[in-house]
Amino acid sequence: MVTVQLFASYAEALGGSTLQIPFENGTRVADLVRSIRALPGGRSVPPSPRVAINRKFATAEQLIRKDDEIAVIPPVAGG
Amino acid sequence: MKRAAVVTRVIDPAALIAEVQSPEFGAISLFVGTVRDVNDGRSVTALDYSAYVNMAESELAAILDEAEVNFGVGAIAIEHRIGALALGEVSVAIASTHAHRRPAIECTRFIIEEIKSRVPIWKLEHYADGAREWVDPTRAIGEAAL
């Protein structure tokens, strides 16, 4: 399992600020998103959300590693 | 001198000016964002800002580096506040300096646009009718938000 951080509207929709998501070697960002969207409330996350790995925006094809810091980033609204 | 921070206290724009000011710079450009009382036609009563703080600070640091390369500015200070803010309070302040006005102004503009597009900070609006909503600027493309 890997820990995924959620924020703002996504955290509210999925009922918490972290999720534990199944993980195996070869899991990509897109696979992780598919797993999240299958959870109750997961449809609030779009099919291609911004995902950050180790505090940098990642691509859908990027591979997840076991100890990565992973976050799904809702549309930002700073300023 | 370059500094960017996510803060939970009141932002004092004058303090940012003092921080970047130096006789070698002939221009200081200051942007101050404040909490507005209306959004998308709805009456706003208060705002809660939240952030992925670690990443917000690293993105702000990256923006500072890009701004320095792009505009050759002398000193920059940025503060973005999170937590509960009342109407009219300062949510963000940016002070950029340069020998001349144009790069200073362009640098400040660059920084606020980059903050709005990529720094992981979110805004929960509370409305006069009791409703609340996370602001999603991607839904407002083509409208007044631009």
ipTM exceeding 0.90, yes/no: yes
Alpha-carbon gap, residue B146 to B144, rounded angstroms: 5
Quick: pLDDT tens for A9-24: 999 999 999 999 999 9
Interval A46-76: pLDDT, tens: 999 999 999 999 999 999 998 999 999 999 9
C-beta separation of A44 from A10 below 8 A: yes
* Out of A12, A52, A75, closest to residue B137 by CB: A75
Q: What is the DSSP letter of A74?
A: P
- Structural domains for chain A: 2-73 (3.10.20.30)
pLDDT value for A35: 97
The pLDDT assigned to B146 comes to: 47
Residues of B in contact with A52 (CB under 8 A): 52, 55, 120
Report yes or no: B100 at the A interface, CB cutoff 8 Å.
Answer: no
pTM of structure: 0.94
For chain B, list the domains and their CATH numbers.
2-131 (3.90.1170.40)
Each residue's pLDDT tens digit in chain B (146 positions)?
Answer: 999 999 999 999 999 999 999 999 999 999 999 999 999 899 999 999 999 999 999 999 999 999 999 999 989 999 999 999 999 999 999 999 999 999 999 999 999 999 999 999 999 999 999 999 999 998 865 555 44
Per the listing, tokens 């952030």 go with B51
- pLDDT tens-place string over residues A22-34: 999 999 999 999 9
Tell whether the torsion through CA atoms of B138, B140, B142 and B145 is positive or negative.
Answer: negative
How far away is chain B from the Cα of A55, in angstroms, using its nearest Cα? 5
E runs forming strands in B8-105 = 27-34, 38-39, 42-51, 76-81, 83-86, 90-98
Q: DSSP 3-state assignment of B102?
A: helix
The count of CB pairs under 8 A between chains A and B is 73
Which contiguous run of DSSP H or E holds residue B63? Answer: helix B53-71
Q: Which of A9, A52, A77 sits opposite B55 (nearest CB)?
A: A52
pLDDT reported for residue B140: 63
Q: Comparing C-alpha atoms, which of B78, B96, B82 is closest to residue B124?
A: B82
